[in-house]
């Protein structure tokens, strides 16, 4: 069976809604890949992320804000013959988004972005205290390119 490309906004948003975690790939100053699991939120085509202000990820992103973010869901292992390895496959749907991270610095925009993340996990908005908002790094990816692929669906 061939994988199918995904391009409809509805299907892209359905995949994102179902993902608990994304994986963000970065390129460090030595040209080496660095990939981290991250919580996220999504609104109107943009992925919202947050982080403490220190650490390797933030150092890398300040130096090179180009990222690729992956999402995948709907895993289902199946087989035709339980004793034949090559007859096993996994159904899935996945997305890759590439582009340049934008920093969100304005406190009100940070709160809005944090609530986009919290909405993804809880469906709720929350109040925040200003010191916490000042401390946290918030950024978003409005992707330059989105590719989607489904296998078995």
Residues that bind ligand FAD (CB under 6 A): 21, 36-39, 50-51, 55-57
Nearest approach in angstroms of CB 23 to ligand FAD is: 9
Nearest approach in angstroms of CB 7 to ligand FAD is: 27
Instruction: Considering the complex, state which of residue 35 and residue 146 has its C-beta at the smaller distance from ligand FAD.
Output: 35
Q: Is 137:51 a contact under the CB 8 Å cutoff?
A: yes
Q: Is 85:12 a contact under the CB 8 Å cutoff?
A: no
Nearest approach in angstroms of CB 69 to ligand FAD is: 12
Instruction: Considering the complex, state which of residue 6 and residue 137 has its C-beta at the smaller distance from ligand FAD.
Output: 137
Instruction: Considering the complex, state which of residue 12 and residue 114 has its C-beta at the smaller distance from ligand FAD.
Output: 114
- Chain residue at closest Cβ approach to ligand FAD: 55
Cα-based distances in Å from 33 to 28, 48, 70, 119, 135 = 6, 21, 14, 30, 27
Nearest approach in angstroms of CB 74 to ligand FAD is: 18
Residue whose C-alpha is closest to residue 55's, from 73, 18, 79, 28: 28
Instruction: Considering the complex, state which of residue 37 and residue 123 has its C-beta at the smaller distance from ligand FAD.
Output: 37
């Amino acid at each position: 069976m061939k994988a199918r490309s995904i391009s409809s906004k509805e299907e892209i948003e359905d995949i994102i809604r179902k993902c608990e975690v994304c994986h963000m790939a970065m390129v460090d100053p030595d040209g080496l890949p660095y990939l981290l699991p991250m919580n996220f939120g999504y609104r109107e085509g943009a992925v919202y992320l947050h982080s403490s202000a220190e650490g390797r990820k933030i150092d890398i992103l300040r130096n090179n804000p180009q990222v690729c973010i992956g999402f995948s869901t709907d895993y289902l292992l199946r087989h035709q013959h339980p004793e034949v390895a090559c007859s096993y496959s996994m159904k899935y749907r996945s997305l890759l988004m590439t582009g340049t991270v934008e920093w969100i610095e304005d406190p009100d925009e940070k709160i809005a972005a944090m609530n986009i993340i919290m909405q993804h996990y809880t469906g709720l908005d929350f109040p925040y205290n200003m010191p916490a908002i000042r401390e946290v790094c918030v950024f978003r990816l409005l992707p330059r390119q989105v590719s989607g692929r489904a296998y078995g669906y």
